[in-house]
Structure 1
Amino acid sequence: MTSAPGPLLQRSSALTRFVLAPNPGPMSLDGTNSYVLQAAGNPSAVVVDPGPLDETHLQSLAGAGPVELILVTHRHADHTAGSARLHRLTGAPVRGADPVHCHGGGAPLQDGEVIRAAGLEVRVLATPGHTSDSVCFHLPDDGGDGSVLTGDTILGRGTTMLDFPDGTLGDYLASLDKLEALGAATVLPAHGPVLPSLEAIVRAYRDHRLERLDQIRAALDRLGRDAAVGDVTDAVYADVGHSVRRAAEMSVAAQLNYLRGAAGHD
């Protein structure tokens, strides 16, 4: 844990601010965006994705409000490791889709649930694919088109890896369909910059996934239908560095599972 002065909250939309956690890396990009949601004139706040167990970072979040509620988008440690400590600092319950990541009496999140806290309406959307417990949070009153906190389901830069076998491509494609229906909402990702127009980003993500599937089909035509994950990764992700090789292999495994499952139902 560190003890340096905490970073300042940065404005990300009309109803949200964020603090960038000090955990940059190949998978976390510049670090985790920990969001503070707060209606104008309301003293209370909701924190989304507390991030790593870094005392300075968590103290910054604890000071944003009184914190009424803590939400997590999914189970990965760069989102959840600091949540129990932030609960102790603030007394606020922690809620996620997985009960393992609920603290202080927080109930597991439910798809379609509407949360009212800190003067806000927060709609919970189950969006499995990156992980089985991934959720997004829709703020319909955040600006003219609303906003969506997308966790790792949609990133501000690059594309999302599928944590196979927990995350699957079939689930992910269905989640993209669900998000596209929210239209031009602002994208508030857990990593990378804020983006405009969720529906446009979703279409680009879907196009990328379908292009990758075509590349994997072509690789299987060359290598054989039973080709190993490593061999297909060599063929399709030849340009990726060692630091993200495991993520590439998981994405290939997820896509092979999807293709072979589809073939089994022909």
Structure 2
Amino acid sequence: MKGAVADPSWAGGPVGERAVCVLCPNPSPMTLDGTNTWLLAEPGSDDVVVVDPGPLDESHLSAVVNHVRESGRRIALTLLTHGHLDHAESADRFHELTGAPVRGFGRGHDDVREGELITVGGLEILAVPTPGHSSDSFSFVLPADNTLLTGDTVLGRGTTVVAWPDGNLEAYLESLSRIEALTRAGTVTSLLPGHGPAVSDAAETVSFYLRHRAERLEQVRDAVARGAQTAYDVVETVYADVPRSVWPAAELSVNAQLEYLRTHP
């Protein structure tokens, strides 16, 4: 669950040949170090794809635009991993600043499609639906780097929330399994998350996420069996190991877990 202490070693910057992170200055228990705005480009290309411009923070948007302009490139496309405000609130404003089209899923933007191969300036990006954290979550594979941009589906540190009722645990577990299959096939070996540092071992991280979810489900099931009546009752017992500042988010996850257990006793 989000709420881990910020990692002072993560301040964004380049990751490999095709990705640069401009870190938004919005750190919090729910955003970790801040929102990662990813700038993607094929080496030698003038075209940049921006993933998740972030909240409506004019200074951050200017930093992103200036970073691209100073490199002599242009922003050709904006992609959204999902519609939560810390990732997508600035999408319309960013379009005004750059003129670049904005694509996401289910939020009034030009929908990306499952399995779609997006090509911009020679850069290939494969769209992979990963709902669960939210109903509109998508991840994006960079095949040339065997890298997956995960939004909030998998974080660079800690674990994420299933944002019930829009988020759904069954869908989330299926999404984790989909990512696990990509790691087993060697299609994905590293992760570029929406919050926290880049992840070099995608397979181990996704395996941890799956184990963690299974353990939490058993803990929730046990708490209910011992008399917990509400989601908050469960949080007090099961999520006692996370800061109280993220208990409201934990309560969302518990509601998603309780919903899952009602259909998967």
TM over 0.5: yes
Q: Which residue of 2 aligns with 1:81?
A: 89
Q: Distance in 2 between matches of 1:131 and 1:140?
A: 24
Structure 1 residue 205: deviation in Å? 0.2
Q: Distance in 2 between matches of 1:254 and 1:240?
A: 18
Superposition pairs for residues 153-192 of structure 1, below 5 Å? 153-183=153-183, 184-192=188-196
SS at match of 1:40: coil
Number of aligned positions between the proteins = 246
Gaps of 5+ in 1: 1-7
Cα offsets for 1:35-72 (capped at 9, x unmatched):
00011110110000001112221122223131000001
Q: Which residue of 1 aligns with 2:249?
A: 247
Q: Of the two structures, which has the highest relative contact order with CA contacts closer than 8 Å and spacing of 6 or more? A: 2
Cα offsets for 1:77-130 (capped at 9, x unmatched):
000112111111110000111233x2xxxx211111110013211000000010
Superposition pairs for residues 84-103 of structure 1, below 5 Å? 84-100=92-108, 102=109
Does residue 196 in structure 1 map to residue 200 in structure 2?
yes
Q: Distance in 1 between matches of 2:12 and 2:245?
A: 30
Contact 1:127 1:172 in 2 (8 A): yes
SS at match of 1:121: strand
Structure 1 residue 13: deviation in Å? 2.1
Cα offsets for 1:169-210 (capped at 9, x unmatched):
100000001101222521100100001122211110000000
Contact 2:12 2:36 in 1 (8 A): no
Does residue 72 in structure 1 map to residue 80 in structure 2?
yes
SS at match of 1:150: strand
Q: Which residue of 2 aligns with 1:3?
A: none
Closer, same or farther: CA 42–9 of 1 in aligned 2, 3 Å: farther
Structure 1 residue 9: deviation in Å? 7.0
Superposition pairs for residues 206-225 of structure 1, below 5 Å? 206-223=210-227
Q: Which residue of 1 aligns with 2:136?
A: 133
Structure 1 residue ranges, 4+ long, deviating more than 2 angstroms after superposition: 238-242
Identical-residue share of aligned pairs (%): 48
Q: Residue 92 of structure 2 aligns to which amino acid in structure 1?
A: A
Q: Distance in 1 between matches of 2:219 and 2:263?
A: 17
Contact 2:41 2:121 in 1 (8 A): yes
Q: Distance in 2 between matches of 1:81 and 1:158?
A: 24
SS at match of 2:241: coil
Q: Distance in 1 between matches of 2:75 and 2:12?
A: 14
SS at match of 1:248: helix
Q: Distance in 2 between matches of 1:218 and 1:122?
A: 42
Q: Residue 216 of structure 2 aligns to which amino acid in structure 1?
A: R
Q: Distance in 1 between matches of 2:221 and 2:159?
A: 20
SS at match of 1:223: coil
Q: Distance in 2 between matches of 1:99 and 1:231?
A: 34
Gaps of 5+ in 2: 1-10
SS at match of 2:148: strand
Q: Distance in 1 between matches of 2:155 and 2:45?
A: 29
SS at match of 1:35: strand
Closer, same or farther: CA 99–75 of 1 in aligned 2, 3 Å: closer
Closer, same or farther: CA 59–228 of 1 in aligned 2, 3 Å: same
